[in-house]
Amino acid sequence: MIKALVLPLCRGYLRFLRTDKERVGGVERCVRALLLLLPYGALLVLLRIRLALWGPLTVDGTTDDGIRLRCRLPDLIQMYVYLFGAWEPDVAAFLRHRLRPGDTFVDVGANIGCMTALAGRLVGPRGTVMAIEPCPAVIAALQETVASNDLTNVRLVAGAVSDRDHEVALFAGPSHNVGLTTTVARRGLRQQGRVRAAPLGSLVTPEELASARLVKVDVEGAEDRVLAGVVAHLETLAADAELVVELSPTWWSDSRLRPIDVLRPYLDRGFHVYLLRPFLERFFYVHLPPNEYALWRYLSPRDIGAAQRLRDLAVLERRVARLDIVLSRVDADAL
């Protein structure tokens, strides 16, 4: 019943509410958001009940870029892919803007492979993608994504990126949000096992690191360790190499660390900080970081703003919940 009737109807309704406009006004955005709350909430309740009784519901999903994924609902990422055809639209847009055929892309925290597969398409058969993921269950889904999209330019690396070579505990995210899986202990997450962790330069070859055009880091609170480990290899990176990083300071193991402390070695070596800021910020807030996981964000996935230079570094002195940034040697107002 849910799979045959409820899911297709709900997806059709939400796709009807979605717009491909590149600029959406605040009033229109609010109206569309209000119209999606009730049907999405009802669907989520049904899927949570189904999850508790019989496990996740598996369906086929396709992104706007034509990436095929097996979606196990109600996992957050896979729900958004199935219903809206998109995941993290601002990050995806930045990849489309920066990656070219023949480039190298490193995906640290690849999850089920949304960005891995997109990058694989963008860099083409002459390019290379390294997808790094520590969770065995997620790696199986990642392999499935790579295979179903016929990506022969992707190399999977099982492990976690850190500041040194050691073994770390792996904490599994809940069934409704597997993307929260992390190597940082956090309330509500259960330990799933232990995995190898090592600096990025130990998990990819020197040639792969030297040719990397983009390095994406999304590791749910372990990015302080990841970035600390990359510092030793900064001279190896190409001059045009950029890092796209989701910072989650409140989840870092060291409660004293601030974003500025983690990013200072990069600033001292000529990198600049850019914020991935969607245009929707103009209508609702100015000083808060964007939330790509907000449901209403996916009703206008093409309303994308350029990555904006962060001139006032005072924001990096606060342990904010989340910042999506780009580290680049390009000295400009926007990327």
Q: Give pLDDT, residue 285.
A: 39
**Strand 212-217, strand 104-108: pairing:** parallel
Tell which residue, 216, 150, 134, has the closest CA to residue 182: 134
Cβ-Cβ contacts under 8 Å for 116 (sequence gap 6 or more) = 105, 107, 110, 129, 131, 142, 145, 146, 151, 154
Decide if pLDDT at 277 tops 70.
no
Q: Give pLDDT, residue 276.
A: 87
d(CA 286, CA 277): 10
Q: Which two tokens stand for residue 141?
A: 């889904």
163-182 pLDDT, tens digit each: 999 999 999 999 999 999 99
Could you tell me the pLDDT band of residue 269, with boundaries at 50, 70 and 90? very high
198-255 pLDDT, tens digit each: 999 999 999 999 999 999 999 999 999 999 999 999 999 999 999 999 999 999 999 9
Residue with the two structure tokens 């369906």: 59
Quick one: how far is CA 284 from the chain centroid? Answer: 23
Residue with the two structure tokens 């996992």: 75
CB 106 within 8 A of CB 200: yes
Could you tell me the pLDDT band of residue 282, with boundaries at 50, 70 and 90? very low
150 Rama sector, left if φ>0, alpha if ψ -120 to 50, beta otherwise: left
77-90 pLDDT, tens digit each: 999 999 999 999 99
β partners of residue 271 = none
**Strand 272-276, strand 323-328: pairing:** antiparallel
Mean pLDDT of the chain: 93
**DSSP string over 82-127:** HHHS-SSHHHHHHHHHH--TT-EEEEES-TTSHHHHHHHHHH-TTS
Q: What does the chain come to in residues?
A: 335
36-71 pLDDT, tens digit each: 999 999 999 999 999 999 999 999 999 999 999 999
Q: Which two tokens stand for residue 78?
A: 């896979």
Residue with the two structure tokens 């999405």: 40
Q: How far is CA 226 from CA 132, 211, 255, 283, in A?
A: 12, 19, 17, 34
d(CA 74, CA 59): 11
Model pTM score: 0.94
Decide if pLDDT at 292 tops 50.
yes
Q: Where are the domains of the chain?
A: 87-328
Residue 149: φ, ψ to 5°? -105, 10
Q: Which homologous superfamily does the CATH classification assign to the domain defined by 87-328?
A: Vaccinia Virus protein VP39 (3.40.50.150)
